Homo-oligomer: A and B are copies of this chain.
Amino acid sequence: MSKGTVVLAYSGGLDTSCILVWLKEEGYDVITYLANIGQVEDFDAAKKKAESLGAKKVFIEDLRAEFVEEFIWPSVQASAIYEDRYLLGTSVARPCIARRQIQIARQEGAQYVSHGATGKGNDQIRFELTCYALYPEVQIIAPWRIPEFYNRFVGRKDLMEYAEKHGIPVPVTPKAPWSMDANLMHISYESGILENPKSHAPADLYLMTKNPEDAPNSPDVLEIEFKKGVPIKVTHVKEGKSKDTPLDIFSYLNEMGGRHGVGRIDIVENRFIGMKSRGIYETPGGTILYHAHLDIETFTMDREVRRIKQGLGVKFAEMLYNGFWYSPECEFVRHCIDKSQESVEGKVQLSVFKGQVYILGRESPKSLYNEELVSMDVQGDYDPCDASGFIKINAVRFLVPYSLIIFHSSSHTI
């Protein structure tokens, strides 16, 4: 008799194929689920493979549009960036994937979900927190954290042997000496030879962006139009070509960014699990959007609102990285950030060239920039004498004798 039904997040690769078979061995009915979030993949082949391995049902789900609209767009609004550098391309995909997995589990009456994420990474957390949040009674089977599984499959060799034994097609090309995760937003590379933080990434690692050295010798100039903090249109200024649905916009920015080698980073980051890891990422479209959004936001948002929103954005990035997309606090922060974006609209012109994004200019019907007020040539309503009072009052704190002691006693003494 079946122990029950499990919905397995299935990639089509060796690991999750072995997990599929192993779960069956363990007595579960297995439904496989493969999300299309923009990675390069032969979805038909994966489907057939899952079926041939005994999946009771196979779901291939195209989540690309909702991934962009419901997950990437809020991250753009938030200027979400983890530890000042990482644009969170993997993190933001996880709740999107897991949400559908839970929908399938509920719809199919499955009490279990399973995934092939490792026990040292962030993804297990991101998947599972989403599952618990959306389906609190769910039971999660994470083979890479189950001693019977991970002690049996200590290395790739064990998986290969198991695969051969169980008729699982074995990859013919050798595995790259690193692991990668790809989606519409980015590709990440880690592990293997990249674990040595000192060694440089090989030049042929990158799949999504051109090597800037080989990129075109002249820039492409784009105009991105924003409304409520999200792009609603991108136009290639010279060619006049434009895109205006979320998925098209984002894909086009990926194409442009990829062509010019935009968005490569090599970082050491802090995992939620408490260890530092080295990751290499390429996020072409996301990098362009990050810069463009920052520009239009500063142009249209009040200084003090932005300061508060900036703090919320930092918190949002941490939540996202740690897997708390579906949590009361992240819902709350997304709401607040969304509110802050109400008047973030207008057009930004930028060029992409040899790995870099250059902001060229911006305009907005909701700009808070006042050309007359700021002009050096026009006095306008502004009375420069006011500045004297402003400065003097700001210095009042310094006039109390003791307050000065702090720095007079410092090394910066005059």
Chain A positions within 8 Å of B, measured between CB atoms, are 70, 79, 83-85, 99, 102-103, 106, 118-120, 124-125, 128-129, 132-134, 136, 142, 144-145, 147, 150, 155, 179, 191-192, 195-201, 212-213, 217-219, 264-271, 273-278, 294-295, 298-300, 302-312, 314-315, 318, 323-324, 326-329, 331-333, 335-336, 339-340, 342-343, 349, 353-356, 358-363, 366-371, 373-377, 379, 381-400, 402-407, 410, 412, 414
Contact = CB atoms under 8 A, between A and B. Distances in A.
Given A70-B412, A327-B397, 13 more contacts: A83-B306, A84-B310, A120-B384, A129-B395, A132-B399, A150-B379, A212-B353, A267-B359, A276-B298, A302-B329, A343-B406, A354-B355, A390-B392
B355 A332 contact: no
B132 A398 contact: yes
B374 A412 contact: no
A360 B266 contact: yes
Contacts of A217: 213
Contacts of A147: 385
Given A136-B399, A198-B361, A308 B326 contact: no
Nearest to A322: B394
A375 B121 CA distance: 10
Contacts of A400: 275-276, 368-370, 373
B384 A144 contact: yes
A405 to B, nearest CB: 7
A343 B329 CA distance: 14
Given A374-B275, A403-B368, A394 B398 contact: no
Nearest to A260: B354
A268 B298 contact: yes
The copy count of this chain in the complex is 4
B197 A367 contact: yes
A26 to B, nearest CB: 17
Q: Which of A302, A333, A385 has the most CB of B within 10 A?
A: A302
Contacts of A132: 391-392, 395, 398-399
B314 A310 contact: yes
Nearest to A179: B376
Given A198-B363, A356-B356, A394 B399 contact: no
Contacts of A118: 376, 384
The 3 closest A-B pairs by CB, nearest first: A389-B389, A119-B384, A274-B396
Contacts of A363: 197-198
A358 B85 CA distance: 12
B390 A393 contact: yes
Contacts of A331: 406-407, 410, 412
22 contacts: A103-B414, A119-B387, A120-B382, A125-B394, A128-B391, A132-B391, A136-B398, A145-B384, A145-B385, A192-B376, A212-B356, A266-B359, A267-B359, A274-B395, A275-B396, A308-B333, A328-B407, A331-B412, A332-B406, A335-B339, A354-B355, A388-B389
